[in-house]
A and B are shown apart, each in its own frame.
Chain A
Amino acid sequence: MAFEYLGGGWPISRRVRGAHRRSWERLASAGFWWTGVERVAIAAECRRAAALAAGESADSESGAAGLGGGRVGLPEAAVHAVQKIVVDNANLSREWVEEVCAAEGMSEERYIELLGVLVHVFSIDELHRALGIPLEPLPAALAGEPSRRRPTGARRVAGWLPITPPDALDAEDAGLYDNAPFAANVLTALSLVPDNLPWLADLSHAHYLSYAEMRETGKVREISRAQQELIASRVSVLNECFY
């Protein structure tokens, strides 16, 4: 079973293990716009970018098993996008994103799904790196075709790309925002591909806080809320992230 954490020596909670396993299941499955093979290849490219940015060879980062499927079938623009987002996220621009989305084999929907896959895999890998434990080998891709469903209510509201706002959900996406009439921009940002949002909520709960826990003022994790927010702010500053 993936994410056993048998040899690392750290007390990884069941909450985290479970979310990581569900993440690998999501990663391996066909999405809305990429196949499972392509999604795993995006994850492998994410690892390659992180390794090279750290001055390591890709193989030294995770071993052949960790890199999984490599560059199978990814458009050149997708590979470039992964590298840029992993390594140089502070300098992304509207023009750059538009160029990526217009490139051969890409689209707005494919970019958003790529970003969703990338950030979740990167987050899990960053947790491993911060703890000094080996990366989990990438999963074997599952068969299946992308649904290619674009939400009918998707539109530009804020940011560079369309989102699916809470007031324009299709029936199959009804629970996407837990019936909230409003959601912060960072929560709607990936909603052009609705499957990104449950993944976002699940891993946020595991690594940080659930949306309900965010409203609590007391200590929820082993470090206090103030300590969590301090780390969050520091990471944002180090990344020069204005948001």
Chain B
Amino acid sequence: MQGTTDDSVDVGVPFADVLMAYADAAVRRDGDLAERRAAVESALGAEAVVDAAATVANYQRMVRIADGCGIPLDEVTEQASAEWRESLGVNEYYSALNTYGEEVAAPA
């Protein structure tokens, strides 16, 4: 999980670097999106590009459902993810308030 917030960490997933670079460019709508898409195609093929794009699209939706409804983490997930959420800094997100209430600092 550390690799999702720290690019220097090897996450042990094949072609993680090109996939994350593509996801970054797609979400941020960076100018180098075409270049990063081509890198995924070169590494994994055109069908993989479509599946990667679809996964980005799916989570662009899911995060807005969660944020738009203010839902808390499910209890099982909350317990299972406690340790790595702390290490990743995820607890600092404003939407952590939806799970922990006012115990978490408001955003800057």
Contacts and interface: CB of A to CB of B under 8 A. Distances in A.
Interface stretch (A27-35, A173-181, A200-208): A200-208
B51 A90 contact: no
Contact of A123 (B5, B49, B60): B60
Contacts of B65: 115, 119, 186, 189-190, 200
Nearest to A15: B54
Contacts of A243: 63, 66-67, 71-73, 95, 98-99
A230 B13 contact: yes
B46 interface: yes
A147 interface: no
- Summarize B's interface: helix, strand, loop or mixed: helix
A158 B46 CA distance: 40
Instruction: Select the residue from B52, B68, B95 with max chain A CB neighbours within 10 A.
Output: B68
Interface in A96-120: 97, 112, 115, 118-120
Interface residues of B, number: 64
A182 to B, nearest CB: 9
Contacts of B42: none
B69 A161 contact: yes
Interface of B: 1, 3-5, 11, 13-16, 19-20, 22-24, 26-29, 33-34, 37, 44-74, 77, 88, 90-91, 93-99, 107
